Amino acid sequence: MTVILLTFVCVEFLSCGGDDDASDGSDGGSQATNIIGSWYLHLFSSKGEVYDVLAFSQNGTCHFQQVSNKSGTYQKDYDETVQYSYQDGKMRITRSDGSIKTVEVISYTQQDLILRNWPDNGVNTFLPLTNEVQQQIEKLLENSSASSGFKSCPDINHPHMIDLGLPSGTIWACCNVGASKPEEYGDFYAWGETSTKNQYTTGTYEWCINGRSHVDIGEDISCVPQFDPATKHWSRPWRMPTLALMEELLSNTTSEWISQDGVNGRTFTGRNGGKIFLPAGGNFINSNTGVGDYGNYWTSTIFGMTTSWYAYELYISLETVRVDHENYRCQGKMVRPIQ
């Protein structure tokens, strides 16, 4: 709760008008030395994660940047250069509009920079901006320029929306329904079912009548919570890919068979550099077969009449990646959500 307030104060301080440089006749005399280097403060607020990045230069300027994570998308909130001077444990910050803020430097070592009054009257510890952290933040900023997704997972809080630069603007999830990371296979579903089972046969198939005919649940089940496990378990707008969107993926990405963290599967890389990994979790009938050798992913589109036995799937293996049509609806396959 406090942090929310701190961030607000900080925002107000940094956004209150003034874009031209004025008052360059600021107080001479004080030395802008001793705090050279780059530091960051990691905060949490109602907006999500917030990083305050301060980069002090020898000539008395401080480059300030604020990066925040709003609704899963990192973005740069502020980017401004301020003048600073440091004397007797006090840091005097002069903004371009001439407003002045005084910050107390409580401690300043190789390990940390502890400030009072940044962002408000509280005490906060800034950590050195190592190359690694700098790269992370640059990656966040780079990702923020993407329309509505990341180009790769920015952290371990999966699932993420991955932007592959596809013509339709479709965003793909970084992992499967039921998986907690890209390398996990997740859950297997019969086509049009949203629960998992021990066996995926005509005998156990919810939409099969006496092993002879099939219930008509429509020719496309994408985004119908009753039939679509992506929508059911991840909620709208997540949904299964249609045949057309699966074909769009194949024709607008390059695919490579790789082992990622010891798990075989295929990457799909878009023209914008965005990339997803589909693990080869096999297929599931009486048991889970083909694990590590191939992987089957449902599309939401039926093959043939609405009472057909089959639906379209994506099939991946070392040798091939293709859309198949004669796949028994009752079989258990993986689902990779889109939106």
Burial annotation 2-30 (CB, 10 A radius, 16+ → b, else e): eeeebbebbbebbeeeeeeeeeeeeeeee
- Structure token digits, residue 334: 């993986």
Q: For Zn ion, which stretch binds (CB under 5 A), given 81-89, 96-104, 146-154, 324-332?
A: 146-154
Q: For Zn ion, which stretch binds (CB under 5 A), given 15-23, 110-118, 155-163, 212-220?
A: 155-163
Considering only residues 86 to 125 of the shown chain, the ones binding Zn ion according to CB under 5 A are none
Smaller CB separation from Zn ion, 160 or 214: 160
The H-or-E segment that residue 297 falls in is: strand 294-303
Smaller CB separation from Zn ion, 153 or 302: 153
Out of 11, 82, 93, 174, point to the residue binding Zn ion (CB under 5 A). 174
Chain Cα centroid distance, residue 158: 7
Q: For Zn ion, which stretch binds (CB under 5 A), given 95-103, 160-168, 246-254, 306-314?
A: 160-168
Could you please report the per-residue DSSP string of 103-129? EEEEEE-SS-EEEESSSSSSEEEEEE-
How far is 214 from 305, CA to CA, in rounded Å? 10
Minimum CB separation from Zn ion for residue 244, in Å? 25
Smaller CB separation from Zn ion, 118 or 277: 277
Question: Does the N-terminal peptide bond of residue 182 adopt cis geometry, omega within 30 degrees of 0?
Answer: no
Smaller CB separation from Zn ion, 125 or 269: 269
Q: What is the dihedral of CA 159, 164, 170, 173, to 10 degrees?
A: -10
Q: For Zn ion, which stretch binds (CB under 5 A), given 1-9, 135-143, 153-161, 241-249?
A: 153-161
Q: Are 162 and 172 in contact (CB under 8 A)?
A: yes
Q: For Zn ion, which stretch binds (CB under 5 A), given 13-21, 63-71, 158-166, 271-279?
A: 158-166
Q: Are 274 and 165 in contact (CB under 8 A)?
A: yes
Smaller CB separation from Zn ion, 154 or 192: 154
- Alpha helices of the chain — where are they, by DSSP H? 2-15, 131-144, 229-234, 243-252
What does the per-residue mask of binding to Zn ion show for 65-84, with x meaning CB under 5 A?
--------------------
Out of 160, 232, 239, 329, point to the residue binding Zn ion (CB under 5 A). 160
How far is 117 from 89, CA to CA, in rounded Å? 13
- Interface size with Zn ion, residues (CB under 5 A): 4
177 is a contact residue toward Zn ion (CB under 5 A)? no
Smaller CB separation from Zn ion, 162 or 330: 162
Considering only residues 184 to 203 of the shown chain, the ones binding Zn ion according to CB under 5 A are none
Give the three-state DSSP class for 53.
Answer: strand
Out of 53, 153, 302, 311, point to the residue binding Zn ion (CB under 5 A). 153
Smaller CB separation from Zn ion, 160 or 239: 160
CB atoms within 10 A of CB 316: 24
Minimum CB separation from Zn ion for residue 161, in Å? 9
Q: Are 124 and 133 in contact (CB under 8 A)?
A: no
Out of 92, 139, 158, 197, point to the residue binding Zn ion (CB under 5 A). 158
Q: Are 298 and 311 in contact (CB under 8 A)?
A: yes
| Type of residue found at 122 | G
Would you tell me which residues interact with Zn ion (CB under 5 A)?
Answer: 153, 158, 160, 174
